[in-house]
Amino acid sequence: MNHLEKLQVELLKWQHYVREQKTQHIILFEGVDAAGKSGAIKRFMEHMNPRYARVVALDKPTEQEKAQWYWQRYIREFPHAGEITFWDRSWYNRAGVESVLGFCTEKEVGRFFQEAVQLERIWKEAGIQIIKFWYSVNKREQARRFKERETHPLKQGKLSEIDLISQDKWEEYTKAKNRMFKETKNWIQVKSNCKRSARIASMQYVLLNNDYEGKDLANIGEINQEILKEI
């Protein structure tokens, strides 16, 4: 077995332990467009039992959701006891896309940061584990991936209108990211110019930060600190 497959074996052991212990897990994948978030989640989920692990990938809010408390539609997707949830973007949309593109006010962004810190602390105290990955690529690699989405017949559906303006808004997104790191806590930044290296480092981090029966450290290996670092 290659390293990725060994890590997937460890993930299955962990999932079995989560089911037995009835713990709850949220793993967020945030980052710039085309950073490899969806692909990483796919590799995490590839061999997991979908009854006890699922992907949360919410569409833009409906008119009804816009009128509700901001957090309501996210809390609705929280993991049940014994479940692992992988979030392809999350409530941090407010700190990123919504902020940069003017879909919310500065007052709403400020309130978001205050509430995010408090709520995440409450959720963790309630026993919900939250791991927050930020996937990062450079501007040139993002442009290459956008071009691939334009031409590859199996990837054209992944190119959105927001993707198309991401390059022009690069500086604004960078400022929003830096503010998010400053205002909130416990981020794990993953350099994802190499998708495989990013996926391996992310799996290693999750496994090394959880206890479970039969844990094989030789299968997991050491994290490449040039790929992943805690913010």
Q: Find where tokens 């006891």 sit.
A: 81
The pLDDT score that the predictor gives to residue 16 is 98
Amino acid, res. 1: M
The pLDDT score that the predictor gives to residue 157 is 65
Q: How far apart are CA 166 and CA 179, in angstroms?
A: 18
The pLDDT score that the predictor gives to residue 1 is 92
Residue 144's SS3 state is helix
Do 56 and 86 meet the contact criterion of CB atoms below 8 Å apart?
Answer: yes
The pLDDT score that the predictor gives to residue 166 is 80
The model carries a pTM of 0.94
For the chain, residues with pLDDT lower than 70 are 154-159
